[in-house]
Structure 1
C-alpha cells in the first residue's frame, strides 16, 4: 500500500492494527546516498565500531526517501502467512518557520540508480510524509506553549507576532513606524475599518508582506481596534505568509477564537511528527524486526526518526536495543551454516529465488485485497515495501528449513523460537571476513590481526612495489587506505613475527607499524584531540579481546585462494578491488563453524 502525506493520517490506524496483529515485521529503506566521501569507504579490516562510525557519518549527511514495512501474521489453520506491505514516502518538510529546516547530501550514483529503477522523486518532495524526532517534537511543543501564554496577554504592553517563529522577540512598548511604512499601515487600517463597517464577510485576508511589516500591522491593529478583531496567520499556495482578520463580537468570542487557533497549531505539530509515529508503534510492539543487510537501515532509522546517533559505540548499541528490542538480519542467516552451503548467493533478489527451490520449501504467503499484488521477480526490486516483503519471505523460508532439521521436525517456527535466537540482535558486517557480526547484546568478537601491518610509502608507489617489499613473506592482500598508506595482510601468518625486524630499518622511504600499534595510536590521537590533552610520546598498545572459538562464529562462503602476483604497472584502483575481494575470502578451518543446535 502506497502511503504519502495525503493519506498518512487515514492509513495510520490500519498500520497500527497490522503491527499489533503481526508475528513479526520486516523493513527496508532507500537513501539519497551511501558514502559521504572516499575517506569513509568501508574496509575489509573494519571493526564493528569502526564500521558504525562510518555509517553514522553517512546517516547524518543523507536522507531516507522511502521506508518499506511489511507485517507478517501466521494463520495456523491454513498454514499460511498474511503479509501487509506498506510503502512510505518520507521527506522532512518543515511545517513552520520554527521547525527544523534539514540540509542533506545526494550522491549522484545513488540518485542515478534509483532513477533507473523508476523511483518517483516528485512524490518524495511533493508528497513525502514529514517527521520529527522526540527531541525536536518536545522543543517545538515547549515553544508553542510559551507562545500561547503570550497570545493571551492582550492587556500587556508586550507586542508579539504570532507567526514570528522560534526567534520571536518580545518588545516592551510599540515599535515606532518608519516613515516609509506609514502610508501602507494606514491603508491596512482603513481596509479593516471598511471590513468591519460592512456586514456579510467574516474574515479578510491582508496583502502579503515581510515579517517586520507584519509586526507593525499586529501592533497597530491591536492598538486601534482592541478586541473587535482577531488576527491570525496563514501560508498560501505560493508559501507567502498572510494575516487574516476575523471580526469579533465579544471577549468570549475572542478567547474561543484564540483557543481554536492554538488547537490548530498543536494539531499541525502532531501532523509534523508524521512517520516517526510508525517507528514508535514498531518500538512499542516489541515485535521481531527483520531486515536484509540491515546495519545501514538501522542507523538511518534511528537517526532520522528517533534521535541523533551517539558518538559512543556502546551508547549506540544501547539505543538500538532500546528502540528495537529484537532485530534479525537475513543476510547473516544466509551466510551461516547450514544455509550457507546451500545458497550460492546471499544478494536479496538471488536469495529469494533459492528459497523457492529445494531443499527449501516455498512459504505460502497471501496478501489482502486492498494491498498491491507483487510478482516475484526483479522488476519490483528496490521498492522499499517489496524489498521488505521478500525479506520477510526469505526469513520464513530459512526458518522453516532450519525447523525441518530438528528432531522431531518443526512444521512452524515462531519468531521467538530457540532456533532463531542465535541470529537475534546480531548484524551482518559487509565485506569483513574475520569478524562474524556486530553483537548488539554483548561484546563483539575481535579476532587476532597479528598478520596485518600498516604501511606508509611514497605517492608514486604501486601495488607491485608493496608485493616486492613483502615478497620474503609470501603472498599478501593489500587494502588501500589512500595514495600513501595501506594495510598489508600476510597469508602465511607464521611469518608475521619476523616482518618488523626484517623491514623496519631497510628503507627510510616507508614506515611500517603492526595493526595493533597503529590502531591504538590512532585511538589515542583521537582521544587527545577530543580532550585537548597534550600529546604523549609513549604509545602503549592495549590488549584486544581474543577470538572466542566457542562463540557462534560465522564462516565466509568463499574458499581460500592465492592471489596472482600483479604486473609492475598495475594501478591502485584495480588492486583495491582485488584486495577487497580476496580479503572477503577465508582460509579453511580458520574459524569454528556455527552449527544450529537441535531442541
Structure 2
C-alpha cells in the first residue's frame, strides 16, 4: 500500500494498530546517498573495525536524507494458521511544511545513489511533491522549547542600535513613540501601528516590515512596560496589559504551537509506535481532508482509537526486523530520533532502549554459513526459500500492490521480502538445529523445500518436547480482534479478486511471475476484512474464556521470541568488511 501526504492522516490510525498488534515489523529504507561514497573522503584501506564503520555511516546519515520507508507488519492468525502481512510503502519528504517552527535542513544528494534509484523506477520529485513530512524527536523538542520561550518572553533579544545615518528608521521610531504616548494617555482600547503611523501621506506603503516590527517591539519593551504588542498580518496591535488575558493568550499560543508540531511530526508517529513512545495525538488532527480543510468526524470514536493505539504502543512493542540493516538503522535513528551518539557503544545502548529486540535477516542467513565470504542479497535469499511451503503467508486484502509485481529497491517491496525471509529462514533454521541434535528421524528444511509450492504435506510431529501453542477461542459475545481467514481454493490458471472499485479483476498466477511472493494467497475480501479496532485484549487473557491447545507442525510457526533460539540470532547486525563481522547490540531478553 502506497502512503503519501494525501492519505497519511487517514491511514495513520490503521497503521498504528497494525504495528502495535504485529508479531514483528520489517523495515527497509531508501536514501539519497550512501556512506562509503562520500565525496573527498579517503578510500578504505583493508578491513575496518566496527567503530570505523559506525563513524563512516554516521557521517553519511548526517549528510543524506531518507526518501522512502517500507514497513511490513506480520501477525500470525491462529484461526487460519497463517501469517497475515501488511506492507506499506511510505514516501518521506525532507521538507518542513511549517516555517514558523524554525526548523531548517540541508538536503544532499549523491549522484550514484540517485542514478541507481532512478534506474529502479523511483521518481525523484515524488518525495518533495507527495512525501509525508516528519520531525525527529530532537527537532520537535527544540521547536517547542524555542516557541514556548518566545511566548513566555524568556528569549533575550539584542536591541538594534540605530545609527545617525539611518534617517528613515529613526523617524519611524520617533513617530511610533509619539503615537504610543498619546494612546497611553487616552481611553482608546487599542492602537494599530503600521509603516505610515503618524503621517498623513497617501503615498506611504502601510504594511509594516519585519525590521520595523522589531523596532516597535524593542520600543514597547524599553519604554512602555504596561502595553503589549500583538502581531497582525500588516500591522502591530498595541493593547493594555491584562494579566489574566495575557495568561490565556500564552496558553492559546502554546496550544497552537503544539498543534503545528503534531501535524509536522508526521511519519515519526509510526516510529513512536515501534519504540513504545508517546502517541500524543489529538482527535482534531484527523478532522482534516487531504487539502487540510476541516471536516466532520466522530470525535469520540477517534479519541477511542487514539487511546487504544497509545495503550498498545506502550504495552506491546513488536520485534524490529531488517535485512543487512546496520546502515538502515543508523539512518533511521538520525532521521526520526535525532543526533547520533558519538561512539558505536553508546549507539548500541541508546538503540537497545528504543528497540529491545532487533533481528537482522542478513545475520540470520549467514550465521551458520560455511563460506564466510558469501554475502547473498535479499532477493537471492528469498529465491532460495521460494519453494518452502511453510509457514503459510498471505498479504492482507488491502495490501495487494506486490501480489503480482516485483518492485525491487522500493522500500515497501523490500520490507515485504524481508518479512518473508524472516519467517522462512527462522523456521527452517529451527528445524535444522533440532535435526542436528535429535536422534529421531525428522523432516528437515531441505525436505520441505523439495515439496511443490502448492502442496502442503501432512507431517508427523518431529519434536516430541515441543511446547504446545495456545489458540485463543473468543467467547461468543466478544468482538474478535484478529479476523478469521478462510482458505481460498487454488486455481492454477487464473485467480480473481474484487478490486476497490467493486469490479472483478484477473490476477496472474504464481507461474506468470518470478516474484517469490506471487505464491502468497489472495485472501477473500469478505473474510479478510479490516479488523475491529475496539479496545479488546489482543492476547487470550480474559477470565472464563476457554483455551484450546494444539501442537504445531514443524515450520508452521516461527520460533517463539521467548525461546533460546533468538539468544543465538537476535540483536546481532551483520557488518561485512569489518574485523568483527557483526555488531552485538545487546543480549536478547
| TM-score normalised over the length of structure 2 | 0.58
Which residue does the alignment assign to 1:59?
Answer: 61
Aligned counterpart for 2:135 among listed residues 132, 135, 147? 132
Partner of 2:254: 262
Match of 2:392 among 364, 375, 381: 364
Residue in 1 that maps onto 2:422 = 395
Gapped regions of structure 1 (runs ≥ 5)? 152-165, 196-205, 234-241, 443-599
Q: Secondary structure at the match of 2:71?
A: strand
Q: Is contact 1:82-1:368 (8 Å) kept?
A: yes
Match of 2:583 among 425, 438, 445: 438
Matching residue of 2:157: 169
Across the two proteins, how many residue pairs are aligned to each other?
402
CA contact (8 A) 1:89 1:128 kept: yes
Matched ranges for 1:42-121 at <5 A: 45-94=47-96, 95-96=98-99, 99-121=102-124
- What are the residue-to-residue correspondences of 1:413-432 with 2, within 5 Å? 413-416=558-561, 417-432=563-578
Deviations 1:261-292 (A, max 9, x none): 33212211233333333222211254211111
Say if 1:308 and 1:247 are closer, same or farther in 2 by CA, change over 3 A. Answer: closer
Question: 1:369-392: per-residue Cα shift (whole Å, max 9, x none)?
Answer: 3334214554x1111111111100
Deviation at 1:89, TM superposition (A): 2.3
Contact 2:54/2:343 (8 A) holds in 1: no
- Please state whether the residue corresponding to 2:260 is helix, strand or coil: helix
Q: Which runs of 5+ in 2 are unaligned?
A: 180-189, 195-204, 277-315, 435-461, 464-553
State the distance in 2 between where 1:223 and 1:91 align: 43
Query: Structure 1 residues 99 and 249 mapped into 2: Cα distance closer, same or farther (>3 Å)?
Result: closer
CA contact (8 A) 1:429 1:437 kept: yes
Question: Aligned-pair RMSD on alpha carbons?
Answer: 4.2
Aligned-pair CA distance for 1:116 = 1.8
| Partner SS for 1:337 | coil
CA spacing shift, 1:321–1:230, aligned 2, 3 Å: same
Q: How far did 1:26 drift?
A: 0.5
Flag the 1:415–1:150 CA change in 2: closer, same or farther, 3 A.
same
1:271 aligns with 2:417: no
- Alpha-carbon deviation of 1:27? 0.5
- In structure 1, what is the Cα distance between the partners aligned to 2:116 and 2:318? 32
Corresponding residue for residue 287 of structure 1: 318
Pair 1:210–1:123, CA change in 2 (3 A) = farther
User: CA–CA distance in 2 between the matches of 1:207 and 1:115?
Assistant: 50
1:495-506 aligned within 5 A: none
Q: Structure 1 stretch 171-180 or stretch 412-421: which is displaced more?
A: 171-180
Helix, strand or coil: the match of 2:89?
strand
Deviation at 1:77, TM superposition (A): 2.0
The counterpart of 1:180, out of the listed 156, 168, 176, is: 168
1 CA distance for matches of 2:394 and 2:191? 62
Distance 1:177 1:384, change over 3 A: farther
Aligned mates of 1:331, 1:437 — CA distance in 2: 10
Asked if residue 211 in structure 1 is aligned to residue 203 in structure 2, the reply is no
1:346–1:255 CA distance, 2 compared to 1 (3 A): same
Q: Sort the Cα spacing of 1:194 and 1:317 in 2 relative to 1 into closer, same or farther, 3 A.
A: closer
Deviation at 1:337, TM superposition (A): 2.8
The verdict on how the C-alpha distance between 1:244 and 1:18 changes in structure 2, with shifts beyond 3 A counting, is farther
**Alignment partner for residue 386 of structure 1, among 406, 413, 429?**
413
2:23 counterpart residue number: 23
Aligned partners of 2:251, 2:347: CA distance in 1, in Å?
42
Distance 2:12 2:102 in 1: 23
Give the deviation of 1:334 after TM superposition: 1.7
Q: Which moved more, 1:55-64 or 1:329-338?
A: 329-338
- By relative contact order (CA 8 Å, sep 6+), the higher-ranking structure is 2
Cα 1:373/1:218, change in 2 over 3 Å: same
Q: Give the Cα separation in 2 of the matches to 1:104 and 1:253.
A: 42
2:12 alignment counterpart: 12
Name the SS of the counterpart of 2:152 in structure 1.
helix
Verify the 8 A CA contact 1:355 1:362 in the aligned structure 2. no
The change in CA–CA distance for 1:145 and 1:75 in structure 2 (over 3 A counts) is same
Shift of 1:219: 6.9
Give the 3-state SS of the residue equivalent to 1:88 in structure 2: strand
**Contact 1:290 1:392 (C-alpha < 8 Å) held by counterparts:** yes
Deviates more, 1:245-254 or 1:343-352: 245-254
Shift of 1:227: 11
Shift of 1:402: 2.2
Q: Give the superposition deviation at 1:431.
A: 3.9
Alpha-carbon spacing, 1:366–1:247, altered in 2? closer, same or farther (3 Å) = farther
Contact 1:230 1:254 in 2 (8 A): no
Q: 1:334 maps to which residue?
A: 365
Q: Name 1:33's counterpart in structure 2.
A: 33
**Alignment of structure 1 residues 318-329 onto 2, 5 Å:** 318-329=349-360
8 Å Cα contact 1:82/1:365 also seen in 2 = yes
Distance 2:2 2:27 in 1: 15
TM-score by length of structure 1 reads: 0.58
Relative to structure 1, the CA distance from residue 381 to residue 260 in structure 2 (aligned partners, 3 Å threshold; closer, same or farther) is: same
Name the CA distance, whole Å, in 1 between partners of 2:4 and 2:225.
Answer: 43
Q: Once the 2 structures are TM-superposed, how far is the Cα of residue 131 of structure 1 from its aligned partner?
A: 3.1
Question: 1:124 Cα deviation (Å)?
Answer: 1.4
Query: Following the alignment from structure 1 to structure 2, what is the Cα–Cα distance between the partners of residues 113 and 207?
Result: 53
Note the 1:586-597 alignment, pairs <5 A.
none
Shift of 1:104: 3.8
Using the alignment, how far apart are the partners of 1:404 and 1:367 within structure 2?
A: 25
Q: Deviations over 1:100-154 (max 9, x none)?
A: 3222431101011112222233231234333333333333322222222239xxx
1:215/1:176 CA distance change after superposition, 3 Å: farther
